[in-house]
Each structure stands twice: as C-alpha cells, then as structure tokens.
Amino acid sequence: MIEVRQARDEADLQAAVALRRAVFVDEQGVTPQDEDDGRDADALHLVVVEGDAVIGTCRLLKEGATVKLSRMAVARHARGRGLASQLLREAELQASALGATRIALAAQTYAVGLYARAGYTPRGSRFYDAGIEHLTMEKELPGSRG
C-alpha cells in the first residue's frame, strides 16, 4: 500500500534525505554541498511510503504567499507509477493549508512535461543549477485570485 503524507519523525526525514542523496548525488552527480542547502529544518517534508520504505519525497518552503516546492525525488525502482503526480497533489493541498496562493518550483527540464500536465506554467528562461538545466514553473492554487 502506498501512502503520501507529511514526514512524521526523524526516521522519515532521514530516509527522505537518504533518497535525495541517492537520486541527486549518486544518480545525477550533484555535489553533496549543492544538495544540502541548509533549508531542511525550515521545510515541511512530504514522503511517499510503501511498507516501511520511503520511496518518494519533496519539501515545501513558505515564502510569503508562495510555497516553493523543491527536492522532489522518487526511488529509481519506483518510477513510472505516478508517485511524483501524487506528491504534487499532496504538496498543493499542504501549500493551500499553509495559506499560500501559489506554488512554485525549479523543474529539471526533463521533467517539465510532468509539471505542465499538473497545471504548472513556465516562467522566465532556462537556467543551470548544480550543473543541471532547470525552468521555473508555478501554479495558482485553488481559491486564489492570481
């Protein structure tokens, strides 16, 4: 059974960080310093749990009326099952609960289609972060007047 929820304890958070390291550092070659930006303590962390394993994660940082979604990762063996879309839906619900009117993210360009299908709109030009091409995307949340 799959559960998408807030990280409940230090074990959930450690598993989420380990998954991010596996995806961003080990698979994509991001430096550990770029992956660990020191913002985890300020964030709301979401996890996808199957059994007792964290197989997906993202974090949310509130900045005024905007929630910034970042560090979305799904375990290699669990990809292609719609888990990123489930994380996005939960992130939007949590962002609304935090009082945000908009959610924004920096999408790796290979994943732009995922976010576009979920209603996110590109903003600005492509840019490089940690050596990977990105595009800023955002979405007005239900109930907001964007």
Q: Mean of the pLDDT values across residues 139-145?
A: 77
Long-range residue pairs from 29-33, CB within 8 A, at least 24 positions apart, any chain: 29/131, 30/130, 30/131, 30/132, 31/130
Q: What is the pLDDT of residues 85-124, one digit of tens each?
A: 999 999 999 999 999 999 999 999 999 999 999 999 999 9
Which sequence spans correspond to the domains of the chain?
A: 2-101
pTM to 2 decimal places: 0.94
Could you give the 3-state DSSP secondary structure of residue 13? helix
Cβ contact 56:78 at 8 Å: yes
Class of domain 2-101: alpha beta
Q: Does 144 have pLDDT greater than 80?
A: no
